[in-house]
Amino acid sequence: MTTQEILFTVDQHVATVTFNRPDSLNSLSLEVVKDLLALIRRIATDHDIRALVLTGTGRGFCTGWQLGSAPLPGLPGESFGVSQAHLMEEYFNPVISELHDLSIPIVAAVNGVTAGAGVSLALAADVAIAASSANFVLTFAPKLGIVPDLGATWKLPRLIGWGRTQAATLLGDKISATDAAAWGMVWRCVADDELAAAVLETAKRLAAGPPGIAREVRHAHHAAYLNSLGEQLDYERQRQKVLLDRRSFREGLAAFAEKRTPDFYRG
């Protein structure tokens, strides 16, 4: 499936969604956000897809919402803030929520400039790999007088700490791919010409993993942010009660005993 502003392909159980507005460094139009949400929902129901890659064409991964690109839908007399809040509720926030609930692993291939809500989308991935020339810019506060959104205020302090998050948000300085990897904002930083191969190898490895385990791990770590130690221990106990009875565990155990690679999708 290919549209003008977003591309979608599937190869060897790996789906790739590519933002395709290179002239604007892959800023997000309303149509792109709608298409992205529709694609995520389609992927969620396609059991042949076992991993998802998010990336962009040209020199940018994604530079976020293109403010002022077109009139926003809304009621007569409605303020810009009110109409934008409605769009966030209907389209933008569901993108992040549905990515969070996706059963398959998500890889972000950060290939260039990443700004605003584009940073939030990169942070929504389970594994983010950045090209060495990539950078991250939180443009919200210093340029526009607004707070980061699409989950960035929830995710970033937990990844890189309060001090770095406050400074990066208030100053809006570029965060290099090297610093992003050193701080724990992304998994790896690789040479530009190695990004595609590194992402493909990672996505294939993840696609071969147990069905649904990406969501299980994602939700377990999310719960840990909110739970006390005792509550998290009980959460782990409850999930193990379910997971230990699944075929994936039996296959993994058998493969370990037989000294072979587990085949979680066999028969």
Whether residues 93 and 152 fall in one domain: yes
Count of structural domains within the chain: 2
The residue among 156 and 74 whose pLDDT is bigger is 156
Tell me if 267 is assigned to some domain. no
pLDDT tens-digit map of 204-223 = 999 999 999 999 999 999 99
What is the pTM (predicted TM-score) of this model? Answer: 0.94
Pairwise CA distance, residues 194 & 65, whole Å:
28
Whether residues 45 and 77 fall in one domain: yes
What was the pLDDT predicted at 77?
79
Pairwise CA distance, residues 99 & 137, whole Å:
22
Tell me if 265 is assigned to some domain. no
Cβ neighbours of residue 151 closer than 8 Å, sequence gap 6 or more: 96, 120, 123, 124
For the chain, what percent of residues have pLDDT higher than 70? Answer: 95
Whether residues 252 and 219 fall in one domain: yes
Pairwise CA distance, residues 103 & 94, whole Å:
15
Whether residues 107 and 141 fall in one domain: yes
What was the pLDDT predicted at 3?
65
Whether residues 133 and 246 fall in one domain: no
Tell me if 154 is assigned to some domain. yes
Expressed as residue numbers, the domain containing 225 is: 213-258
Residue 1: pLDDT over 90: no
Tell me if 1 is assigned to some domain. no
* CATH assignment of the domain containing 139: 3.90.226.10
What was the pLDDT predicted at 214?
97
What was the pLDDT predicted at 70?
56
Whether residues 176 and 239 fall in one domain: no
pLDDT tens-digit map of 134-154 = 999 999 999 999 999 999 999
Phi then psi for residue 199, to 5 deg, are: -70, -45
